[in-house]
Amino acid sequence: MAKTTNIPGKKVPQGKYSAFVPDPLPPAVDWTPRLIRLLSDADRLIGKLAGEGGRLPNPHVLMRPFTRREAVLSSKIEGTQATLGELLAAEAGIAVERSPDDLREVGNYVVALEHGISRLGKLPICVRLIKELHEKLMTDVRGHHATRGEFRKIQNWIGKPGSTVETASFIPPPPDAVEPCLAAWEKFLHESDLPPLATIALAHYQFEAIHPFLDGNGRVGRLLITLFLIERKILPTPLLYLSAFFEASRRDYYDGLRGVSERGAWQDWIEYFLLGVARMSEDAVNRAGKINAKLAEWQKSVAGESTKTPLRVVELLAANPFITAKGCVEKLGVAFTTAQRAIERLERLGIVQQVGTAKRDRVYCAKALLDILEEPAQLVPGD
């Protein structure tokens, strides 16, 4: 096994190529004043988000569209084209033109995240949970030939489309090294005495370097960031998602991971990760504030009416900006005509607009909320 100075692992010859087996975490990290400042900023801003999240009048309702936004952006990094609007419309029971495969991949991300959150009370983040997340993620989607919930038994690699193992830009550990590497990864997560944000920054790199599955590694790795923040009680609900940051700075993301593997550039990677936490915490606080201000404005405009149905429909919009009378009937237990009248009242107030020109089964959207959810993330303060 060849060990090269500064590279945080070993190159293991495998015939015509060499696979990379990362050293166990943690590495030696030089805590420069800049790195300490970035950690302080990230801690402060994620703490602000946790405080705001605890004060939101409807954190669990708001969690739903935020979760969908993360699912869309994390899947987009892997090449899936579905938009947030399409996913929310499909969940509201509305037919959309997007490929069912794309929508299923994004929907599975939501299922996996919600499964992970529900399991955290009974199970810590561990190898078993990773397999469960992967099984949910890969159900009935492209690549499901890759055994769901099982670690790979063959060599995989990372490279440009059409590349072979000999021309790959990165070759993860050989199959027989995957489970030992993950056992060490799990041990580090449970025993690390580093600050939590530094711990998950290191663990995210390591998971991507191990690449334990034939497909779905990136999405599982990003799911684990959110689950870690909840498990450590850094956030009360999953309001922070880094996929928007990774997607908007995709080249920096991959350069950062590659920089660790090729030259042990841990400091650069941790700085990048902490910057992402800081920016996305600010983004989530601003986004949640805008949504709640808009909902409060609408609630005020329909308060005091003889029927409470318009107010209840506004509350439904917090979970999904797309709405139909049929959906309101199912969720609110009211008559169809009552639901339709309430929606028409919101339409007259400019809260919702009809999508398309259908006379039956009409679809409406609170576009102001969808616009807030679909706004690109701000990567620089004050952008």
Work out the pLDDT band at 275, boundaries 50, 70, 90: very high
pTM of the model: 0.91
Spatial distance between the Cα atoms of 188 and 198, rounded to a whole number of angstroms: 12
Spatial distance between the Cα atoms of 63 and 75, rounded to a whole number of angstroms: 18
Q: 115-154, pLDDT tens digit by residue?
A: 999 999 899 999 999 999 999 999 987 655 568 999 999 9
| Residue whose structure tokens are 């915490």 | 281
Work out the pLDDT band at 382, boundaries 50, 70, 90: very low
Residues 6+ apart with CB under 8 A from 273: 197, 200, 201, 204, 242, 256
Contact 202, 185 (CB under 8 A): no
Is residue 342 scored above 70 in pLDDT? yes
Provide mean pLDDT across the span 75-100: 87
Spatial distance between the Cα atoms of 273 and 277, rounded to a whole number of angstroms: 6
Maximum mean pLDDT: which of 42-56, 73-87, 195-209: 195-209
Q: 39-62, pLDDT tens digit by residue?
A: 999 999 999 999 887 776 666 677
Is residue 3 scored above 60 in pLDDT? no
Helix (H) or strand (E) holding 353: strand 353-355
User: If you write DSSP's letter for every residue of 79-148 in order, what string do you get?
Assistant: T----HHHHHHHHTT---SS-HHHHHHHHHHHHHHHHHHHHTTT--S-HHHHHHHHHHHTTTSTTTTSPT
Is residue 321 scored above 50 in pLDDT? yes
Contact 136, 223 (CB under 8 A): no
Sheet holding 353-355, edge to edge: 322-324, 363-365, 353-355
In CATH, 303-374 is 2.40.30.10: no
In CATH, 2-286 is 1.10.3290.10: yes
Q: Please determine whether the domains at 2-286 and 303-374 fall in the same fold group of CATH.
A: no
Q: Which of 352, 294, 321 is nearest to 88 (CA)?
A: 321
Pair of tokens at residue 323: 């709405």
User: If you write DSSP's letter for every residue of 146-186 in order, what string do you get?
Assistant: SPTTS--SS---B-STT--TTT-SB----HHHHHHHHHHHH
Q: Domain ranges for the chain, please list them.
A: 2-286, 303-374
State the number of CA atoms in the 13 A half-sphere of 55 facing the CB: 10
Share of the chain above pLDDT 90, in %: 71
